[in-house]
Amino acid sequence: MSKLRYLALVAVFAIVAAACSSGGTTDTTAASGGGSGDGGSDAPIEIGMWIAFSDEARLGFTKDRAKEFNELHPEYNVVVQEFDSYNTVFEQAVLAVDSGEPPAIIHFFEAATRQALDAVDASGNPVFKSVTDAVAGRGAILGEPVVLDDVVDAARNYYTVEGSFYSQPWNTSSAIMFSNTDMLKAAGVDKIPATWGEVEAACEKVMAMDNAPKACITWPNHSWFVEQSLGQQGELLANNDNGRSGRATEVFLTSDGMIDYISWWKDMADKGYYIYTGAQRDWDGTSNAFQAQEVAMLVYSSSDTTALTEAGDANGFTVEASFMPYNEAKGYEGNLIGGATLWLLNGLDEKTQDGALAFLQFFNNPENAAEWHKITGYIPITKSAEKLLEDEGWYEQSPNSKVASDQLAAAKDTPATRGALVGNFVSIRDVITIAIEDILVNDLDVAERMAQANEEANKLLTEYEQLFGG
Amino acid sequence: MLIPALAVAALFGAAYMAFAVGHRTPARVAIGAGAATVGAAAPPLALGQCTFGAESTSVDHVLTYALMAGGAWLALIVTRAVFDSRDGKSEAAGSSMGGEIRSGGFRLGWWVPWALLAPTLAILAVFLYTPAVQTFTLSTKLARLGAPRTVDVCLTNFSELLIQDPFKLVLYPLLAIGAVYGARFWIRRTEPGTWNHRFAEVASVGAMLSVFVALYAIFSPGGDGTVKYRPVYVNTVIISVGIVAFGMIAGLAVAYLAFQKVKGATMYRTLLIWPYAISPAVAGILFFMLLDPTAGIISNGLKEWFGIRMPNYRESAILAQAAIIMASGWKILGYNVLFYLAGLQTVSVDQVEAAVLDGASPWQRFVHIVLPALSPITFFLLVTNLTYAFFEVFATIDYMTKGAPAGATSVSIYEIIRVGVDNGDLGRGAAQSVLLFAAVIAVTLWQFRTSGKRVSYGGG
């Protein structure tokens, strides 16, 4: 009980802080929230939606779609509330569930899938409901056609747990490589490197140039890239088929694939080919280095395909996207997805739930999904959206945008490429990036340091299973 | 194990009352023994005696004994204060100030001051004391944000921060405490002005440093399922000391310059205080914008004009720590300047003029007149700056380095938020914040005891 009170107190602070930072929105939320309780006929039913994007492009897109939906369905009022990171949304959602005021739709990243499935409220009921169960086989909800069956396989496979397609995919990406082809050509590299060996050979040429850049390649020290490499090499991160045939109870941070990838990474850094920006999860620093032509290649999320391509145009160089380089010694099994999905709150009354479901389908209808893809670089989430873009001639116009979809379609469907579902995943990812930083900065032995990380990560997982497991 | 330890506490309490206080009535000795026993029994009882359970380790036992000793010590201090006030033997400071207070008083009754205090106390209880108590409770649990249950882990959250060798765990702190008290004893037994006394003073500085060394030795370097806390401790010491030293020395220097009679001094003074109005997060962003090797202003300038490539401060532990110290020290600079400017106005002009007539150089005047006159301000700033360095640097670090490289700028408050909030590990986060709480109490007490004697408040 005491923990609850503590959390309530934190929630009070959070509410005060939220009220200070965005007075207007909170006021309207509170006002219309009061009217919606009894589902009265006059006031529209409020559907809260919490998302982890606060940038103009992505937040603006979401708010515009909510506005359109509200005009189409005046009986509903979708209210979008933004947060600055996936972690913040997750924390706030957990607190809101405890205090009894959670929104109907919450945006979670892929690493929180296990935690979202395990989340229970104070009386022990699951916090979220499977979207498939809520749709219950209907073809359309309030006139909005259901797009769940149309979702591309890679996303469906990742978010299908225990046979149920749980959350509504929205922003889905993959890790791909962006090359400054002008620089590569100047160094005499005519073909974009596709394997570790080719990357190394290209880097040797790039760094041998007279006006060599600061380094040849970079990517953020984010565990996601490690997971991508494990998928490519066909290796598991966790037991029980990456936590998909049963709850994961052990993670493998000392597997061959893991050690090989990090050793290659360290080797590239030691040779001066890879530049470490000095911070973990440094999306901005690595992207800036590429845009400032301080590196020739960038392994990154496809979510920024549009922005990076445009930045190249603006700075006078050509950006070409390609598959993430793989280990030629192991072969290629496939990359996995990243990004986030929208989760539906459990225990909503039928009218609110249908409104939320209808919005989710509207939000991801072919036109909206295609538009979302265009402004960002997240893959078109449904096959119809892909077809729409093809018919429009979008891919001829911007070939970089197709790479992520192609890469995901090229993956074999195995537990390794479906990605791991692990409890405490966010912390375990931290353990991995801390270890890698230690290895890169302090020049440590890879196997030794990863053995230590393995111990820490498994302790975290064991503790999680103690608190959440069956 | 509990009963023998309590017996030791009772004996010690009795001995303390008999010898240290000097009132050797049997009643008081008995009360001393009782107080020490109760104080020593409180921590293990509050923990539900889990520290002596089947799963407890010898490190847990050592921690428990330390807590019991602390409880007994606290109880004895309180008991002694009660006896002293009953004997009318108030502290020296109380004699002049206490007199003034006693001349006032509330005629309506004893409850009036309490009624006036009630609103403040209520707010403190709700927003400060309750969460504090709950943090203590949480620190003995394995708890995660949103988890359906918690698991009691007793003192594991604390013991895993320490080395797992109970012998060293007892030995090092005892050696350090022995050194501190030994040096104090030596100083007391020597005459001021003699060489012997000077050696003793040097030894007392060494003894103080030995406390830091002992703490370094007892925090775990990682491995064997423990938390790698030693680097966090080292970073905290380096960065906090750096911020306080830089902030205060630069603050005094700037204030002294701004205090000179120059044209437009008022404007300078106003401008100098501005950094204080900036939040730590903004300070972090500002210095990030200055120092970032790719997007930074300084690196661009160096590259454009001199063709120099600036090193990435986030890749080197020393540069990263220096950057944090610079940003945080700059942020607190305005605050220090403000107080030093106010302090400089109180320095007696007569004394300075007399020193000028006596032929003292500006440097001599500064060292022998201005500095001692500023000592109350310096003492106050030492406490506030240290609190700032312990608690307020999170945002600056988060924007500038995020604890990089390899945790070299992860100080204790950063670690608490990383563990407790980002990773959602509430129990460990709570345990680390209890540790930081204890550290701040200890540092403040130590400052009051040592600096208090050297601070001159002027007057009688």
- b/e sequence B305-338, b meaning 16+ C-beta within 10 Å: eeeeebebbbbbbebbbbbbbbbbbbbbbbbbbb
The pLDDT of residue A184 is above 90: yes
Q: Is B151 in Cβ contact with A119 (below 8 Å)?
A: no
Cis omega (within 30 of 0) for bond into B113 = no
Q: Is A438 in Cβ contact with B309 (below 8 Å)?
A: no
Measure CB to CB from residue B295 to each of A91, A280, A288 and give the nearest one.
A288
Instruction: Say whether residue B405 is in contact with chain A using an 8 A CB cutoff.
Output: yes
Could you tell me which chain A residue has the CA closest to the CA of B408? Answer: A438
Residues A169, A181, single domain; the answer is no
Residues A69, A98, single domain; the answer is yes
Residues A265, A304, single domain; the answer is yes
The pLDDT of residue B11 is above 90: no
- Average pLDDT over every residue of B38-63: 84
Tokens of A164: 């149920």
Res. A59 pLDDT band, cuts 50 70 90: very high
Asked if residue A257 lies in contact with residue A330, where contact means CB atoms within 8 angstroms, the answer is yes
Rg, chain B, Cα only: 26
Asked if residue B324 lies in contact with residue B266, where contact means CB atoms within 8 angstroms, the answer is no
Instruction: Say whether residue B397 is in contact with chain A using an 8 A CB cutoff.
Output: no
Taking the C-alpha atoms of residue A191 and residue A184, their distance in angstroms, rounded to an integer, is 9
Measure CB to CB from residue A455 to each of B225, B423, B426 and give the nearest one.
B225
Q: Cβ contacts (< 8 Å) between A467 and chain B: which residues?
A: 142-144, 147-151
Could you tell me which chain B residue has the CA closest to the CA of A449? Answer: B223
Q: Cβ contacts (< 8 Å) between A95 and chain B: which residues?
A: 145
Question: To the nearest whole angstrom, how far is the Cα of B419 from the nearest Cα of chain A?
Answer: 9
Residues A214, A276, single domain; the answer is yes
Report the run of H or E that residue A82 belongs to, with start and end. Answer: strand A76-82
Task: Flag whether A414 is in a domain.
Answer: no
Taking the C-alpha atoms of residue A220 and residue A287, their distance in angstroms, rounded to an integer, is 9
Q: Which neighbouring-strand residues pair with A161?
A: A164
Chain A residues contacting B via beta carbons under 8 Å? 2-3, 5-7, 9, 87, 91, 94-95, 97-98, 115, 119-120, 124, 214, 276-281, 285, 288-289, 292, 294, 424, 426-427, 430, 434, 437-438, 441-442, 452, 455, 459, 463-464, 466-468
Could you tell me which chain B residue has the CA closest to the CA of A214? Answer: B309
Within 13 Å and on the Cβ side, how many CA atoms surround B142?
16
- Average pLDDT over every residue of B278-289: 90
Instruction: Say whether residue B279 is in contact with chain A using an 8 A CB cutoff.
Output: no
Burial of A50 (0-12, 13-18, 19+ CB in 10 A): buried
Could you tell me which chain B residue has the CA closest to the CA of A6? Answer: B131
Q: Residues for chain B: how many in total?
A: 460
Task: Flag whether A417 is in a domain.
Answer: no
Task: Flag whether A92 is in a domain.
Answer: yes
Question: To the nearest whole angstrom, how far is the Cα of A56 from the nearest Cα of chain B?
Answer: 20
Question: To the nearest whole angstrom, how far is the Cα of A223 from the nearest Cα of chain B?
Answer: 15
Among A118, A278, A302, residue whose Cα is nearest residue A225 = A302
In tens, the pLDDT along A128-178 reads: 999 999 999 999 999 999 999 999 999 999 999 888 899 999 999 999 999
The pLDDT of residue A96 is above 80: yes
The pLDDT of residue A33 is above 50: no
Domain residue limits at A464: 175-335+423-468
Tokens of B184: 């104090």
The pLDDT of residue B91 is above 60: no
Task: Flag whether A410 is in a domain.
Answer: no
Residues A447, A381, single domain; the answer is no
Residues A251, A322, single domain; the answer is yes
Contacts of B404 (CB under 8 A, 6+ apart): A278, A279, A280, A437, A441, B314, B320
Residues A326, A269, single domain; the answer is yes
Instruction: Say whether residue B346 is in contact with chain A using an 8 A CB cutoff.
Output: no
Amino acid identity, position B438 = A
Taking the C-alpha atoms of residue B427 and residue B155, their distance in angstroms, rounded to an integer, is 11
∠A363-A368-A369 over CA atoms, to 5°?
Answer: 90
Question: To the nearest whole angstrom, how far is the Cα of A440 from the nearest Cα of chain B?
Answer: 9
Task: Flag whether A406 is in a domain.
Answer: no
Residues A331, A342, single domain; the answer is no
Task: Flag whether A409 is in a domain.
Answer: no
Last residue of a domain, one of A369, A400, A431: A400
Whether complex ipTM tops 0.85: no
At B390, is the secondary structure helix, strand, or coil? helix
In tens, the pLDDT along B315-345 reads: 888 999 999 999 999 999 999 999 999 999 8
Least confident of A304-313, A338-347, B168-177, B311-320: B311-320
Q: For the domain that residue A221 is a member of, what is the CATH number?
A: 3.40.190.10
Residue whose pair of structure tokens reads 């032995």 in the numeric block = A445
Task: Flag whether A169 is in a domain.
Answer: yes
In tens, the pLDDT along B92-149 reads: 444 444 444 454 566 777 888 889 999 999 999 999 999 999 999 999 999 987 788 8
Measure CB to CB from residue B138 to each of A6, A124, A468 and give the nearest one.
A6
Q: Cβ contacts (< 8 Å) between B313 and chain A: which residues?
A: 278
Measure CB to CB from residue B151 to each of A3, A120, A467 and give the nearest one.
A467
Question: To the nearest whole angstrom, how far is the Cα of B360 from the nearest Cα of chain A?
Answer: 52
Number of domains chain A contains: 2
Residue A100: count of CB within 10 angstroms of its CB: 9
Residues A216, A316, single domain; the answer is yes
Taking the C-alpha atoms of residue B428 and residue B211, their distance in angstroms, rounded to an integer, is 25
In tens, the pLDDT along A158-172 reads: 999 888 899 999 999
Residues A110, A214, single domain; the answer is no
Residues A50, A162, single domain; the answer is yes
Residues A291, A371, single domain; the answer is no
In tens, the pLDDT along B381-436 reads: 988 898 899 888 999 999 898 887 878 899 999 999 988 888 888 999 999 999 99
Q: Which of A123, A277, A448 is most worth mutating to test chain B (most B CB atoms within 10 A of its CB)?
A: A277
What's the mean per-residue pLDDT of chain B? 85
pLDDT at position B275: 84
Tokens of B157: 């959250």
Task: Flag whether A415 is in a domain.
Answer: no
